[in-house]
Structure 1
Amino acid sequence: MALKTLGAKAAAALDKELMSTGAFSIDQLMELAGLSVSQAVFRVHPINKGRRILVAVGPGNNGGDGLVAARHLRHYGYQPSVYYPKRPKNELYQRLTKQLEDLDIPFVDDFPSALKSADHVVDAIFGFSFSGEVREPFPAVINALAETKVPVTAVDAPSSWNIEAGPPSEGVGSNFHPDVLVSLTAPKPLVKHFKGRHFIGGRFVTPVIANKYGFDVPEYDGLDQIVEVGPNGHKL
């Protein structure tokens, strides 16, 4: 059975539907997404492997997922730090930032230095809606992620990758292959180019909505908000 995926238009439509007929708010969806990411990090990088988690955050919803994940990781006992160079003025992101500040989670300005002391990195820079050119200051950040030996978990899409075609053929991100990918709601077509550990975080999607968009909601265990799947979409 081939892994069923959602392209960019379908993924955007699904998000809108979750917030309309699904009755979810964007805050709820971001909270559930960030919780899923934090559980994946906990699964692949338990605390005994090192507490220092560096979260690279972009200016959009993918970045918001990263901010939520950082908060949960702090409560799990990790020591997250956040690189957040492009902060939107939107109230939602300001509240998420304040929540981290109240937990004394540091915001760092020097990504290369922070990366040197990290045990694990969360790539929450760009998600499935990314297109076009990677703009400053993110080219150097993505290149550093591509070159580092520190394990990287990508949120929904490795930053700079095209949702359909995967990594760019040249330039920024062409050699970026994170160790872990957390697909939110449903996998995107780029997963066919991904070779690491793959998790799905979409336990909140109802069967009715999943059927409408032509994908399956995997079977989640117990309290888990994530499920690890193989290339064929089967649960591992």
Structure 2
Amino acid sequence: MQRTAATRLSNILNTISKRPLVFQAPLCNPNKPFVPVHAHQPSNKMSFSMKTLGAQEAIELDKELMSSGGYSLDQLMELAGLAAAHAIYKVHPLSNGQRILVLCGPGNNGGDGLVAARHLWYYGYKPTIYFPKKGKNEIFERLSTQLQKLGIPFTEDYETALKETDHIVDAIFGFSFTGTTIRAPFDAVIAAMKSSPIPTTSIDVPSSWDIEHGPPSEGPGKDFAPDNLISLMAPKHLVKYFKGRHFLGGRFCPPYLEEKYGLNLQGLYKGVDQIAELPRVE
């Protein structure tokens, strides 16, 4: 009797093993194929509903962060630069090349670039800094000293540096840039960056772009379109003209300011991520 039971069990197992496995999803529409959604690959067809900021709103938000919010300027630079470094690591892994050229301007965007360079060095990259008009501000002096102590080189020859890098970080002008006139040496630097085949990531605002109206219609920045953009705190109005990979960074805005400026950032950042990739604006 035991042998008969064993034989039956063996026959059942043999029959099952010969049948193809079928997974059923009773809640799915059987007439439509299942398409997996990958959280790290936002669809370009998604609608972009996040609020964007103009120049005045961006300035006021920064002021409130440094007054009622209790942040200092160097804290904001540190957090912005950290987010920028995360975005660069995302779009340009070390396997794509370690050499990173960071083009810095005299404003706060330049400070963000210096901070990003420091973090990138710790991630294993080899940054080089072009910073022709160093601010005499104590913050810029300390940031520059930090890089020098790591052996990160500063160069005055941006033309050669552009030919000897694997990725360009545009930290020249930020949202406070106004007008169409770009003075030397940045006019030539932006023109050279535009002509370079090396991929570029801009911090907050592509240099020479107007925060409200996007790329300029003339001048050295005409037709400049970076491959990647890392918006800080909130996207600016210009993102509707941007067609590359777009990230948001600045995971430190307190809820009362989110509500005041209508940013709706809750749930946007995942886990310990300092950045969130956003869909392209169509």
Normalising by structure 1, we get a TM-score of 0.96
* Residue of structure 1 aligned with 2:69, choices 15, 19, 22: 22
CA contact (8 A) 2:210 2:216 kept: yes
1:134 aligns with 2:134: no
CA contact (8 A) 1:155 1:182 kept: yes
1:50 aligns with 2:97: yes
Deviations 1:187-208 (A, max 9, x none): 0000000000000002101221
3-state SS in 2 of match to 1:65: helix
Q: Which segment drifts farther, 155-164 or 204-213? A: 204-213
Percent identity of paired positions between Structure 1 and Structure 2 = 59
1:169 aligns with 2:226: no
Which position in structure 2 is the counterpart of 1:156?
204
Which position in structure 2 is the counterpart of 1:224?
273
Q: Which segment drifts farther, 212-221 or 104-113? A: 212-221
Q: Which segment drifts farther, 223-232 or 67-76? A: 223-232
CA contact (8 A) 1:153 1:181 kept: yes
Deviations 1:152-191 (A, max 9, x none): 0000000000000000011111110000000001000000
Deviation (angstroms), 1:232:
5.2
Deviations 1:78-116 (A, max 9, x none): 000000000111100000000000000000111010010
1:188 aligns with 2:236: yes
Aligned residue pairs total 233
CA contact (8 A) 1:3 1:231 kept: no
3-state SS in 2 of match to 1:204: coil
Which position in structure 2 is the counterpart of 1:62?
109
CA distance in structure 2 between the aligned counterparts of 1:90 and 1:127, rounded to whole angstroms: 17
1:207 aligns with 2:265: no
Amino acid at match of 2:78: E
CA distance in structure 2 between the aligned counterparts of 1:201 and 1:167, rounded to whole angstroms: 22
CA contact (8 A) 2:103 2:131 kept: yes
CA distance in structure 2 between the aligned counterparts of 1:156 and 1:134, rounded to whole angstroms: 18
Which position in structure 2 is the counterpart of 1:144?
192
1:86 aligns with 2:109: no
CA distance in structure 1 between the aligned counterparts of 2:273 and 2:74, rounded to whole angstroms: 20
3-state SS in 2 of match to 1:150: coil
3-state SS in 1 of match to 2:246: strand
Which position in structure 2 is the counterpart of 1:114?
161
CA distance in structure 1 between the aligned counterparts of 2:156 and 2:143, rounded to whole angstroms: 18
Aligned-residue CA RMSD (Å):
1.2
Deviations 1:124-154 (A, max 9, x none): 0000000121111001110111111100000
Normalising by structure 2, we get a TM-score of 0.81
Unaligned 5+ segments in structure 1 are none
Deviation (angstroms), 1:2:
2.7
CA distance in structure 2 between the aligned counterparts of 1:202 and 1:81, rounded to whole angstroms: 24
Deviations 1:34-90 (A, max 9, x none): 000000000000001000000000001000000000000000000000000001111
- Decide which structure has the larger Cα Rg and report it: 2
Post-superposition, which runs of at least 4 consecutive aligned residues in structure 1 deviate over 4 A? Answer: none
CA distance in structure 2 between the aligned counterparts of 1:61 and 1:126, rounded to whole angstroms: 8
